[in-house]
A and B are shown apart, each in its own frame.
Chain A
């Protein structure tokens, strides 16, 4: 465990190891997303209530999962950065925040599109959509705070603290929004209700979720690698690397 943590201190090691891992994650993402999409969109049975419009869950649900997981990852990398001063963690956090915001936006957008056939409107103050919207604001706050500092070290620390504060609040926000929603709109139809889903429907969903996660990991690795090069540009190993590439 400690050996691993110490290895993580070296951006050079991470750069080398991530180069080997990257193709596997890209391949997994491609295979899973293509399989899941074809299965889900073409072969899974239509929903008895919503017809074919339910198929948007194959984008909406994975994006929503990822949006929440990425925020948790932000807090974890923030903690790792603050406690062990591992710079890789902060580089990963830097590149993950915009990805998370993008995923949150995709989840919101697909939710809104879904709203048209189900509710007949682009926006409903549905509990899940509202929580998602607040999550988007939290992401924007983290990104804005990081951008506001002139010193990158302070920016990293501040963003880490905010991510940790945010992650403590997310469950509280989620439960209070659920409470608020049930008080104001009892017994309305929720799109992602926990109705029993037939196997042919949720298996492609599971594949899509895994595909989205692989895609996210691959993208984070790739962008962290370029962040490493940017931040370590003055280090010898990066200059040697650049010389080799020429």
Chain B
């Protein structure tokens, strides 16, 4: 700091102020900042996608290369592998912010923490769930997924992974203060993922058997709506607990 001698008595008086609005500004800035951070460390964005591809490669090797057999189990395999890939990147959702102290600062803004956390989760989905959903049809091709179900596969993954990000963020927020929270995080979150998996994989299967796709997608949407209502509150509460851990 350069010396500014003689300026001890400032003319400007410090005054208390009423809170200003600016919630949209804060949320937008958080979105932008997290996007920028992740795009600067591209490997973090790419790792889950590579993981997804590798896991899908393991199945034909471990089970059988028979296209008929693979086609039968492809919807489930794709969904389970995508779910695990999304889980992989969850641990780092709040960890970096926790380590460098930005999380404390996030908690001290006059803005509602739940909405700022929601912005962070949205970035996680944009850079994990959405790319996984877009990549899934290619891997589906390799598993001989029956034609006509590709669009539903991508749509169900895009919709479902948003719920996964929201639910997973609760677990990430609960374990962010723990030095080795990674495995615990999967233990907490995976049982909660089951409904999304059932309706996500179910949607793809329904397309193949030709029934009730919309019902599945509608339920996935309902789950997302529920998660959107409850998860941000739980995430905010969990972050407040973790910061005191």
**What are the residues of chain A within 8 A of B245 when measuring CB–CB?**
149-151, 154, 158
Q: Determine the interface band of chain A, counting residues with CB < 8 A from chain B.
A: 20 to 34
Q: Which of chain B's residues has its CB closest to A171's CB?
A: B195
A134 interface hit (Cβ, 8 Å): yes
A101-134 interface mask toward B, CB cutoff 8 Å, 1 = contact, 0 = none? 0000000000000000000000000000000001
A166 interface hit (Cβ, 8 Å): yes
Contact B187 A144 (CB under 8 A): yes
Contact A144 B198 (CB under 8 A): no
Contact B181 A172 (CB under 8 A): no
A176 interface hit (Cβ, 8 Å): yes
Contact A137 B195 (CB under 8 A): no
Q: Separation in Å of the A200 CB from the closest CB of chain B?
A: 38
Segment from A36-44, A177-185, A186-194 that makes contact with B:
A177-185
Q: Separation in Å of the B145 CB from the closest CB of chain A?
A: 19
Q: What's the dominant secondary structure at chain A's contact region? A: helix
B125 interface hit (Cβ, 8 Å): no
Contact B188 A145 (CB under 8 A): yes
Chain A positions 155-187 with a Cβ under 8 Å from a chain B Cβ: 157-158, 161-162, 164-166, 168-169, 172-173, 175-177, 179-180, 183
B48 interface hit (Cβ, 8 Å): no
B87 interface hit (Cβ, 8 Å): no
Q: Separation in Å of the B43 CB from the closest CB of chain A?
A: 28
B237 interface hit (Cβ, 8 Å): yes
Q: Separation in Å of the A206 CB from the closest CB of chain B?
A: 31
Which of A153, A168, A176 has most B Cβ within 10 Å? A176
A140 interface hit (Cβ, 8 Å): yes
Contact B187 A172 (CB under 8 A): no
Q: Separation in Å of the B159 CB from the closest CB of chain A?
A: 15
Chain B positions 217-245 with a Cβ under 8 Å from a chain A Cβ: 223, 226, 230, 234, 237-238, 241-242, 244-245
Contact B238 A173 (CB under 8 A): no
B39 interface hit (Cβ, 8 Å): no
Q: Determine the interface band of chain B, counting residues with CB < 8 A from chain A.
A: 20 to 34
- Of the candidates B194, B195, B242, which one forms a contact with A154 in the assembled complex, judged by CB atoms under 8 Å apart? B242
Contact B177 A154 (CB under 8 A): yes
Q: Which of chain B's residues has its CB closest to A169's CB?
A: B192
Contact B195 A149 (CB under 8 A): no
Q: Separation in Å of the A159 CB from the closest CB of chain B?
A: 9
Chain B positions 184-202 with a Cβ under 8 Å from a chain A Cβ: 184, 187-188, 190-192, 194-195, 198-199, 202
Q: Separation in Å of the B218 CB from the closest CB of chain A?
A: 13
Contact B241 A177 (CB under 8 A): no
**With contacts A149-B245, A154-B241 known, is A180 near B198, CB below 8 A?**
yes
A173 to B237, CA, bound (A): 23
Contact B190 A137 (CB under 8 A): yes
- Of the candidates B184, B190, B192, which one forms a contact with A145 in the assembled complex, judged by CB atoms under 8 Å apart? B184
A173 to B170, CA, bound (A): 17
A217 interface hit (Cβ, 8 Å): no
A125 to B138, CA, bound (A): 31
Contact B174 A177 (CB under 8 A): no
Contact A134 B191 (CB under 8 A): yes
A98 interface hit (Cβ, 8 Å): no
**What are the residues of chain A within 8 A of B195 when measuring CB–CB?**
169, 172-173, 175-176
A199 interface hit (Cβ, 8 Å): no
A22 interface hit (Cβ, 8 Å): no
**What are the residues of chain B within 8 A of A241 when measuring CB–CB?**
none
Q: List 8 A-B contacts (CB under 8 A).
A: A137-B187, A141-B187, A144-B184, A145-B175, A173-B194, A175-B195, A177-B194, A179-B202
Known: A165-B234, A176-B199, A177-B198. 7 other contacts (CB 8 A): A145-B184, A148-B181, A158-B242, A161-B238, A165-B230, A173-B194, A176-B194
The 10 A-B residue pairs with the shortest CB-CB distance in the complex, in nearest-first order: A176-B195, A137-B191, A154-B245, A157-B241, A141-B188, A176-B198, A180-B198, A172-B195, A134-B191, A158-B174
Binding site for B on A (CB under 8 A): 82, 134, 137-138, 140-141, 144-145, 148-151, 153-154, 157-158, 161-162, 164-166, 168-169, 172-173, 175-177, 179-180, 183
